[in-house]
Amino acid sequence: MRSAESKSLVIDASVATSTGERGRRGELCQTFLRIMIDKTVHRLVMTKEIGAEWDIHSHPFARRWRRSMNAKRRVDRPAVDHDLILAQKIERANPPEKALVAMEKDLRLIEAARATDDRIVSLDDTARRFFCAASSSVGDLRGIMWVNPVNENETPIQWLKEGAPSDEQRLICPST
What CATH number is associated with residue 37?
Answer: 3.40.50
Which of the four pLDDT bands, split at 50, 70 and 90, describes residue 176?
A: low
Q: CA-to-CA distance for 44 and 153, rounded, in angstroms?
A: 23
> Is there a domain that residue 71 lies in?
yes
Q: CA-to-CA distance for 125 and 22, rounded, in angstroms?
A: 20
Structural domain including 91 reads: 8-170
Judged by DSSP in three states, 166 sits in coil
Which of the four pLDDT bands, split at 50, 70 and 90, describes residue 175?
A: confident
> Is there a domain that residue 149 lies in?
yes
Domain count, the chain: 1
Beta carbons within 8 Å of 92's beta carbon, 6+ residues apart: 137
- The CA-CA-CA angle for residues 128, 16, 79, to 5°, reads 75
Which of the four pLDDT bands, split at 50, 70 and 90, describes residue 5?
A: confident
| pLDDT at residue 32 greater than cutoff 90 | yes
Q: Which of 110, 157, 164, 165 is nearest to 132 (CA)?
A: 110
> Is there a domain that residue 154 lies in?
yes
Summarised one tens digit per residue, pLDDT across range 35-94 is: 999 999 999 999 999 999 999 989 999 999 999 999 999 999 999 999 999 999 999 998
> Is there a domain that residue 134 lies in?
yes
Q: Which of 52, 55, 61, 47 is nearest to 18 (CA)?
A: 61
8 touches 118 (CB < 8 A)? no
> Is there a domain that residue 104 lies in?
yes
> Is there a domain that residue 137 lies in?
yes
| pLDDT at residue 1 greater than cutoff 50 | no
Q: Which residues pair with 119 in a beta bridge?
A: 145
> Is there a domain that residue 1 lies in?
no
pLDDT of amino acid 174: 80
> Is there a domain that residue 62 lies in?
yes
